[in-house]
């Protein structure tokens, strides 16, 4: 079995799903892709060769931080012959009300993701051009080292981005605190713009050398761009960056 995220959390690294699937299938391995950051709207991992695709439906599929849920996708034979029996024997079950909320949310998923991306592209461009930011991680911007791969296997760059602010953890914390619209939270895919400091939250348990290898520096912040007015978001990041200069 080969398991990976594409796009990865938190530095938005891409993995070539088609290439990895071809290698894995030659030796009889199944390919499982965590496709949460890309969403089913922006990247079809099954059509790129993955055998199983998983989602935290709590994220974009719900889209408003209301309930917990998950999705496992695969071929009809995999679902019927392997997954269904495992679920039957072990007992996990999605709450009926949560299932209803998620099904209703799917009706607007494509519209919401498109609007998310519109805002994310504007914020990414703004951060790339700002002197207080040393690096921006966004697959939908040509500055991303895997931009060509993103263009090949994704339709847009998603609403997730990360950036490194000059000044390390102190300045990163100050920036997050100075934002008025963006809220501090390690959730993502919400209608609200959310910001988090991966080195001390989502990836806090990793050793320092592993963080360094993954590019999770103390000045890096991850942002899930929401559905607010795009100019309001730009103004919010501009005033926050001005405060920490």
pLDDT tens digits, 89-135: 998 889 999 999 999 999 999 999 999 999 999 999 999 999 999 99
Q: What is the pLDDT of residue 14?
A: 97
With a cut of 70, list the residues of the chain below it in pLDDT. Answer: none
Handedness of CA 111, 5, 99, 195 (dihedral sign): negative
Please tell me the distance from the alpha carbon of residue 47 to that of residue 61, in angstroms, as a whole number: 20
Q: What is the pLDDT of residue 80?
A: 94
- CATH fold of 109-244 reads 3.90.1150
Q: What is the pLDDT of residue 135?
A: 96
Our measurement of the distance from residue 224's CA atom to the centroid of its chain's CA atoms, rounded to an integer in Å, reads: 7
What residues have CB less than 8 Å from 116, skipping those under 6 apart? 60, 158, 159, 225, 226, 227
> Where along the chain do its domains lie?
2-106, 109-244
Handedness of CA 74, 190, 229, 159 (dihedral sign): negative
pTM attached to this predicted model: 0.93
For 2-106, the fitting CATH number among 1.10.150.120, 3.40.50.300, 3.40.640.10, 3.40.718.10 is: 3.40.640.10
Q: Tokens in use for 174? A: 């100050």
Conformational region of residue 36, where left means phi above 0, alpha means psi within -120 to 50, and beta covers everything else: alpha
């Amino acid at each position: 079995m080969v398991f990976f995220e594409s796009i990865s959390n938190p530095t938005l690294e891409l993995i070539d799903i088609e290439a990895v699937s071809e290698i894995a299938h030659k030796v009889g391995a199944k390919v499982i892709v965590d496709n949460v950051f890309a969403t089913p709207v922006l990247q079809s991992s099954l059509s790129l060769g993955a055998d199983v695709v998983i989602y935290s439906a709590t994220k974009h599929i719900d889209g408003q931080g209301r309930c917990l849920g998950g999705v496992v996708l695969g071929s009809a034979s995999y679902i019927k012959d392997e997954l269904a029996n495992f679920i039957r024997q072990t007992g996990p079950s999605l709450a009926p009300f949560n299932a209803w909320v998620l099904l209703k949310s799917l009706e607007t998923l494509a519209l919401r993701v498109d609007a998310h991306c519109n805002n994310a592209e504007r914020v990414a461009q703004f951060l790339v051009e700002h002197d207080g930011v040393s690096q921006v991680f966004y697959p939908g911007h040509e500055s991303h080292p895997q931009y060509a791969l993103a263009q090949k296997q994704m339709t847009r760059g998603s609403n997730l981005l990360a950036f490194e602010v000059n000044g390390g953890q102190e300045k990163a914390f100050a920036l997050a605190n100075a934002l008025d619209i963006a809220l501090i939270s390690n959730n993502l895919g919400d209608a609200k713009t959310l910001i988090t400091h991966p080195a001390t939250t989502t990836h806090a348990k990793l050793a320092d050398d592993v963080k360094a290898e993954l590019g999770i520096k103390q000045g890096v912040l991850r942002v899930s761009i929401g559905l607010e007015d795009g100019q309001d978001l730009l103004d919010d990041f501009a005033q926050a960056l001005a405060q920490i200069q």
